[in-house]
Structure 1
Amino acid sequence: MLLAMDVGNTNTGLGVFEGKKLVANWRLTTARDQTVDEYGILTRDLFTVAGLAPAKTAGVIVASVVPPVNSTLAQMSEKYFGIKAIFVEPGMQAALPVRYDHPEEVGADRIANAVAAFDKYGGPTVVVDFGTAINFDVVSARGEYLGGVIGPGIGISADALFAQAARLFRVEIRDPGKAIGTNTAGSMQAGFYYGFVGLVDGILERLKKELNGRVRVIATGGQAALIAPGSRYIEAVDEHLTLDGLRLLWERSPGR
């Protein structure tokens, strides 16, 4: 079995693969101050609840955009699974060519998404990942990571509005069904939903023009299922794209 960990600023996704099949997955709050033992005990307990044997784990791979937890996860992997974890980096041999000006700046999750997108959908492809930030990652027809766009995520945008506007209150972010709100809650929902649909489609329209042709657009991440139905360009939502990318990177890693 393979344990894949996608460590984001807000949430951490864990997935267990048997071969190419994802047999269990969980989404947890990213905890920067947890100890090696806390991570280890929690992870092993999740295995137990799912009816999986931690001792059968053959590999651990991590995509992390939260450097403070990397050492903790590396130690956890060795102590609780007896395995040296692989950490995704842009220059790793198993990854695709990166055409960024400074490849070391590309987040590990963006590399995993690009690898999975090209393997599953070909290229050119744009991956829209709805997380703390909204990432747009572009993969060429030859399987190269070309770069992309980074924008503010829905959650942090909502948090900023609620924190700075004294008379506005938290609302459920959803499709209100119409743009003209007839009350404060409906007006805010329209602003969040249609505002981010417009942001996403506006950026995708520009990316498609720059790529001079038909481009597949795949969405993933926590808010993908909410925004994708309102988009003119998103073709599919692939909930486990990042975890699939981690599996592919692990399978292609020499000497694992």
Structure 2
Amino acid sequence: MTLTAIDIGNTSITFGLFRSTSLIRSFNIQSSGYSLVKLKAKISAKMLRDTVICSVVPDLTRRLSRDLRALSGKEPLVIGKDIKVPIRNLYRKPRQVGQDRLVNAYAASNLYGVPLIAIDFGTAVTFDIISSELKT
């Protein structure tokens, strides 16, 4: 089984192709320069069996979802819309916490146990504290 995991950020779109739990290939496309032509140059339709998108850029999510659907004939799953992250978000303004941070917190808790602090060094550096009850 092959899974294509896509992280759409403000600066870049990162693609990871997984076979079971092993990363077999990864690549980036700059968010500002994304196009279907660039996507086709990096990945073929046969690689797009199951696709999951985590995004903080709604417009790019729509464009990339449309392009992936056209390439593979399958609808990609989108974190937050199709898949809910099982972390309780206790921020005062929960909508300010992107799905990327919730996914990071959940993945870190599965890999290392809780409680923990998950740190992400992306365009912005973020710190998320996850309690033993899976609350951030």
Query: TM-score, normalised to structure 2's length?
Result: 0.85
Unaligned runs of 5+ in 1: 48-53, 147-256
Alpha-carbon offset, residue 20 of structure 1: 1.3
Describe the shift of the 1:10–1:119 C-alpha distance in structure 2 as closer, same or farther (beyond 3 A).
same
1:126 aligns with 2:117: yes
Alpha-carbon offset, residue 42 of structure 1: 2.9
The residue type paired with residue 29 of structure 1 is Q
Alpha-carbon offset, residue 129 of structure 1: 0.8
In structure 1, distance between residues paired with 2:40 and 2:84: 32
Residue aligned with 1:23, SS = strand
CA contact (8 A) 1:90 1:98 kept: no
CA contact (8 A) 2:109 2:116 kept: yes
Q: What does the per-residue CA deviation read over 1:223-256, in whole Å, with 9 as the maximum and x for residues that have no partner?
A: xxxxxxxxxxxxxxxxxxxxxxxxxxxxxxxxxx
Moved more, 129-138 or 100-109: 100-109
1:58 aligns with 2:76: no
Matches within 5 A, 1:130-209: 130-144=121-135, 146=136
1:6 aligns with 2:7: yes
Give the structure 1 partner of residue 79 of structure 2. Answer: 88
In structure 2, distance between residues paired with 1:142 and 1:124: 8
1:102 aligns with 2:111: no
Give 1 or 2: higher strand fraction. 2
Describe the shift of the 1:140–1:106 C-alpha distance in structure 2 as closer, same or farther (beyond 3 A).
same
Unaligned runs of 5+ in 2: none
Q: What percentage of residue pairs aligned between the two structures are identical?
A: 27
CA contact (8 A) 1:60 1:85 kept: yes
1:20 aligns with 2:11: no
Alpha-carbon offset, residue 78 of structure 1: 0.5
Describe the shift of the 1:90–1:69 C-alpha distance in structure 2 as closer, same or farther (beyond 3 A).
closer
Choose 1 or 2 for highest CA Rg: 1
Q: Which runs of 4+ in 1 moved over 4 A?
A: none
Alpha-carbon offset, residue 92 of structure 1: 4.2
Give 1 or 2: higher helix fraction. 1
Alpha-carbon offset, residue 67 of structure 1: 1.9
Q: What does the per-residue CA deviation read over 1:121-162, in whole Å, with 9 as the maximum and x for residues that have no partner?
A: 111111111111111111111222x2xxxxxxxxxxxxxxxx
Describe the shift of the 1:139–1:91 C-alpha distance in structure 2 as closer, same or farther (beyond 3 A).
farther
CA contact (8 A) 1:5 1:15 kept: yes
Residue aligned with 1:143, SS = coil
In structure 1, distance between residues paired with 2:87 and 2:49: 24
Describe the shift of the 1:39–1:93 C-alpha distance in structure 2 as closer, same or farther (beyond 3 A).
same
Describe the shift of the 1:143–1:81 C-alpha distance in structure 2 as closer, same or farther (beyond 3 A).
same
Residue aligned with 2:87, SS = coil
Give the structure 2 partner of residue 42 of structure 1. Answer: 41
